[in-house]
Chain A
């Protein structure tokens, strides 16, 4: 501590060590938040439902997605990524997950929303299994904190059964 340089070095080292501790405690404080998100998705319409020339089934849906994810946000949350997946079982695959819509929520104010949309990504099956198929609609979310570990969770909602015939 006898010279300018030594004091500057000691100060910086201690300051950054303490900053790391503060970030650690901030990350820990997220444990006190118990999120209670609510979501609801309605399939309003089947726009079309057909077999593609290569034999795979494809369907186009119109959806109403409403969600209140505000309780996911704490002071240590940078953003939340959400996506809506259709999940179903086929003889070939134990779990098919098809992302129909996704979004990035930057702030708590944007975390309560109602979106009326057609599926953003194509709903194509690996094969021709969609006629009469019941699927679950699941909202997945990934929470990205400012410091600490990313976490993910999901909410399974009531499903929907596709019609027996193409249209």
Chain B
């Protein structure tokens, strides 16, 4: 799952759970049945789990594109001298 997918999944999870909770509470209260509320909510939780827990392809639309090793070798690595000079300056 890529970064965009994770963000989407987290928002979906919160929105789905809260809205199922509201719907379950209202139906339970209207029908005067605590059991109905629990069953509706349990159904909502199972549905949310099916939507958000598996790694569906929808959540992999923005893969990270790492540089190819051959491209990396063309450019010089950062020099270590920079860090040593910083250390000296902080010591002073």
Contacts and interface: CB of A to CB of B under 8 A. Distances in A.
A75 interface: yes
Interface residues of A, number: 20
A15 B16 CA distance: 10
B62 interface: no
Select the residue from A19, A26, A29 with max chain B CB neighbours within 10 A: A19
B39 interface: no
Contact of B13 (A4, A14, A19, A21): A14
Interface in B3-38: 6, 9-10, 13-14, 17-18, 21, 24-25, 28-29, 31-34, 37
A36 to B, nearest CB: 18
Interface stretch (A5-13, A56-64, A96-104): A5-13
Nearest to B45: A15
Interface residues of B, number: 26
A71 to B, nearest CB: 13
Contact of B9 (A1, A74, A146): A1
A76 B52 contact: no
User: Top 3 closest A-B pairs, CB basis?
Assistant: A1-B6, A75-B32, A15-B45
